[in-house]
Amino acid sequence: MTVLIPAYEPSNKLIDLIYELQAKTDYKILIVDDGSGEKYKDIFNKASESGCCILSHEQNKGKGAALKTGFSYILENCPGENVVCADSDGQHRADDIIKVADKIGGSKTETEHENKIVLGIRQFDGNVPFKSKVGNRITSLLLKVVSGISLHDTQTGLRGYPFSMLEWLISQKGNRFEYELNLLIEAQNSGILITQIPILTIYENQNKGTHFHPLLDSVRVLLPILKFCASSLTSAILDFILWYIFQNLTGSLFLGVVLARIISSTYNFTINRLIVFKSGNISAKQSAPKYFSVVIVMMFLNYCVLAFLTNILGIHGIISKLLTEISLFTASYTFQRFFVFAGKHNKN
């Protein structure tokens, strides 16, 4: 077992964690100095003197890049070694790292499914910084809405991976904090099992030692979700405008829905294939038939819901259209992600 710790400008809490791990385990410890600079050289020297392997970036590249550097080293130099990733800021106890390591190594029964991610899930009880608690809840809710993945802690840095997954981990997109959310989203698409185990929630000094920037890094973390929302919103606006125009020109609700959906879905297909799901490796000939079969299903559902709201409940047409689009948003994302653009190498 190798414990991989990406570290940027760490404090002596990193040394405390190393000593605690070494007192309780015989795990190898691999630390990636992500461009911390001369000021932090003594800390990394102490870690090296204690027997840790130290890799260094000359400049700060981000947590995702540091993890990939560690994964590449383990892949080349530690054949068969499973990996537990932990943070350097004192949020993870040695006992919890051991819990994750045991689960990823586990018994024969547990390891039958080789491709799995084990997450150490914080409980967010006690003295937790407000921004950390709220930020995690919002991210968890959005992840649930657009992907169906239900996680209590989307930003945990305590994660276990089997050696067999290292090449996949290295291939995934993202160099900063968004990388870890990308892994969760892509895991379900790739048939990778996600297991959650509870760990202690530790926030010292209101988590002031973190390098997570609430605004910038939250945007990066949520970018895969936000891209689909933007694509869906612009497609819905286009569809709404075209529906209103065609219905008034033809006097037919059905023709208005069909003509508008043909044009807006062509736009949506192009944006989602090339930008949202980045499925350029899947040819349009492969994905287009699937996409437009989904369009037909969604168009039928759109018409049925819209007709029900308008003709049966008597709700105004514009309000009915808005309610219909909102109600079908999650279904549209699920169909596209896991049926139309479910290429093995999709990246968000």
Boundary (domain end) residue, out of 186, 211, 236:
211
Interatomic CA distance for residues 40 and 8, integer angstroms: 9
State the pLDDT at residue 346: 39
State the pLDDT at residue 229: 76
Q: 145 and 181, same structural domain?
A: yes
**Domain-located, residue 348:** no
Q: 158 and 241, same structural domain?
A: no
Angle, to 10 degrees, between the axis of helix 214-250 and the axis of helix 130-147? 40
> Contacts by 148-151 with C-beta closer than 8 Å and gap 24+?
148/188, 148/334, 149/184, 149/185, 149/188, 149/194, 151/119, 151/121, 151/184, 151/194, 151/196
Q: 283 and 203, same structural domain?
A: no
Boundary (domain end) residue, out of 159, 189, 211:
211
Q: How many domains does the chain have?
A: 2
Q: 286 and 236, same structural domain?
A: yes
Angle, to 10 degrees, between the axis of helix 253-271 and the axis of helix 284-307? 150
**Domain-located, residue 247:** yes
Is residue 88 a contact partner of residue 21, using CB atoms and an 8 Å limit?
Answer: no
Q: 241 and 174, same structural domain?
A: no
Q: What is the model's pTM?
A: 0.65
Q: 253 and 194, same structural domain?
A: no
Boundary (domain end) residue, out of 170, 189, 211:
211
Q: Give phi and psi for 22, each to the nearest 5.
A: -65, -30
**Domain-located, residue 163:** yes
* Residue 190: Cβ within 10 Å count: 17
State the pLDDT at residue 156: 85
Q: 233 and 275, same structural domain?
A: yes
**Domain-located, residue 219:** no
State the pLDDT at residue 207: 47
> Residue 333's domain spans which residues?
224-340
Residue type, 6: P
Q: 165 and 39, same structural domain?
A: yes
Per-residue buried b or exposed e for 329-348, using 16+ beta carbons within 10 Å of the residue's own CB: beebbebbbeebbbbeebbb
**Domain-located, residue 346:** no
**Domain-located, residue 169:** yes
State the pLDDT at residue 108: 37
Angle, to 10 degrees, between the axis of helix 317-335 and the axis of helix 284-307? 150
pLDDT along the chain (348 residues), means of 10: 95 94 95 95 96 96 95 94 92 92 65 74 62 60 64 83 94 83 78 87 54 53 69 86 91 88 86 70 73 81 85 81 75 70 47
State the pLDDT at residue 145: 61
Interatomic CA distance for residues 91 and 2, integer angstroms: 18
CATH number for position 175: 3.90.550.10
Q: 93 and 55, same structural domain?
A: yes
* Residue 51: Cβ within 10 Å count: 10
Interatomic CA distance for residues 218 and 154, integer angstroms: 12
